[in-house]
Amino acid sequence: MRACVFDAYGTLFDFASAARRCRDALGDSFDKLTTLWREKQLQYTWLRAAQGHHADFWQVTGDALDFSLETLMLDQQGLRDRLMELYLTLDTFPEVQSVLKQLKAAGLKTAILSNGTPAMLDSAVKNARIDSLLDAVLSVEEVGVYKPDPRVYQLAVDQLGIPASQISFQSSNGWDAYAASSFGMKVVWCNRYRQRKERLPGNPDHEIETLAELPRIVGAARQM
């Protein structure tokens, strides 16, 4: 492997952390909002792609939040703005910095390949202080279509100048992992959420529970 490319939301960044920081306002609705917001966010990317009506991930995220707040009857003043602002500074998962450091020490290129807009990703990466550990931060906005369109995965190949077969792609989303595998990348499915195996083209090469296991898989652990 010459490069490790990561999905952002759910893989490096904990999308639940925005709602978690609003538990004072959300109370027992915290988990329900997190789940519904994420489900609608992804649904809107797929539905917009199918309809040919692309909108960037910031708009999609806001639309999904509006649907979720209305569904759960959460109408506290200022809550929507607070949640959207927090989405720009999501927490990383505990192992992320250590893993990226190990990969860089082993001489591997590292990158993000995400549905997020450039502005969203820039904010999240800088807030997490991992910008120096990444060689590239790639947004689907460069091709104007969402995952799992093959043009998204081709973006990583083109930008890094590395064949798909020499890229290890990591995602916590099963559908994303299977799509990248079908495209021709080596895939490590970081199955944080204990999803069932997908019935889709492709087959991830490895399945792990956290990214802490990744350096061993790509031969980087021995470099530390």
* Cα separation values, 213 from 56, 99, 174, 206, Å: 32, 9, 17, 10
Contacts of 112 (CB under 8 A, 6+ apart): 5, 6, 7, 8, 12, 121, 125, 134, 136, 137, 138
pLDDT for res 220: 82
Return d(Cα 224, Cα 221) in angstroms, integer. 6
Residue 7 among the catalytic residues: yes
Tell me the pLDDT of the chain (224 aa) as tens digits: 999 999 999 999 999 999 999 999 998 899 999 999 999 999 999 999 999 999 999 999 999 999 999 999 999 999 999 999 999 999 999 999 999 999 999 999 999 999 999 999 999 999 999 999 999 999 999 999 999 999 999 999 999 999 999 999 999 999 999 999 999 999 999 999 999 999 999 999 999 999 999 999 998 865 44
Whose CA is closest to 209, among 219, 223, 197, 195? 195
Check residue 223 and give its pLDDT: 43
Q: Report pTM.
A: 0.95
How many CA atoms lie less than 13 Å away from 24 in the CB half-sphere? Answer: 5
Please tell me the predicted confidence (pLDDT) of residue 222. Answer: 53
Q: Exactly one of 7, 14, 91, 176 is catalytic; which is it?
A: 7
> What are the tokens at 7?
């999905």
* Cα–Cα dist 142/216, whole Å: 32
